[in-house]
Amino acid sequence: MTSTVPTLGTQAAEGSALQAVLLDMDGTLVDTEGFWWDVEVEVFAALGHTLDEAWRHVVVGGPMTRSAGFLIEATGAAITLAELSVLLNEGFEDRIDRALPLMPGAARLLAELFAHEIPTALVSASHRRIIDRVLASLGPHHFALSVAGDEVARTKPHPDPYLLAASRLGADPARCAVVEDTATGVAAAEAAGCRVIAVPSIAPIAPAPRRTVVSSLEEVDLPFLQSLMTYPTPPSAG
């Protein structure tokens, strides 16, 4: 895990119980979930295998060890997990070097959190080498720290990445708002005890206690995030 700016401690907007905002990366801030699938399709095509579109929902949002391992087992491809991980990371890096589209509302939300000095962390199942490339485009100054999937013993759907980010920020997980786009990420955040805003990218996510589902980051701003801490159940979005 690398701190990109000095840790901001438990600063929060005056009068709000919100202590920190923890953000997923792929499919949440950057429109890259499709990149991973495209790379997986290309790599396995080169190995002589065609991926079933139905598998896309299985591999989305998870750590590479899980998604790559599933695809190797499903196809029977003659490649090791370590070899496949290298090929997938290289293919993904090539795509983000050519274009890195932000999700609607992402730039505005990051700027708002930074302007109000809300401690913010980037928490991703992607590897550090990928996160650092994306941070260069998102603006590393927007984040107090970042947590990569290859820097924790158990990544999403386990709570470890979010518990680690909250701890490093000096925040109570129950006073952290997490923004996620997949069921895997939502499960990790909820297991950590955080309030969750789900912005589904590939597969639908149903509302639940301590979880609010919105259609876009354009519906999410600081007052909305603060309001999540003042209700026994999440308010309606929009």
The residues annotated as belonging to the active site are 24, 26
Q: Which of 66, 72, 69, 34 is nearest to 53 (CA)?
A: 34
Strands laid side by side in the 176-180 sheet: 145-147, 120-123, 20-23, 176-180, 195-198, 211-213
| Residue 76 CB neighbour total at 10 angstroms | 8
Whose tokens are 């050519």? That residue is: 98
Asked if 27 contacts 177 with a C-beta cutoff of 8 angstroms, the reply is no
Q: Which of 97, 235, 110, 228 is nearest to 175 (CA)?
A: 228
Q: Which of 140, 138, 116, 121 is nearest to 226 (CA)?
A: 116
Distance of alpha carbon 39 from alpha carbon 121, whole angstroms: 27
Distance of alpha carbon 154 from alpha carbon 38, whole angstroms: 26
Q: Which of 93, 91, 154 is nearest to 129 (CA)?
A: 93
| Residue 73 CB neighbour total at 10 angstroms | 9
**3-class state of residue 208 by DSSP:** strand
Asked if 142 contacts 104 with a C-beta cutoff of 8 angstroms, the reply is no
Amino acid at 185: G
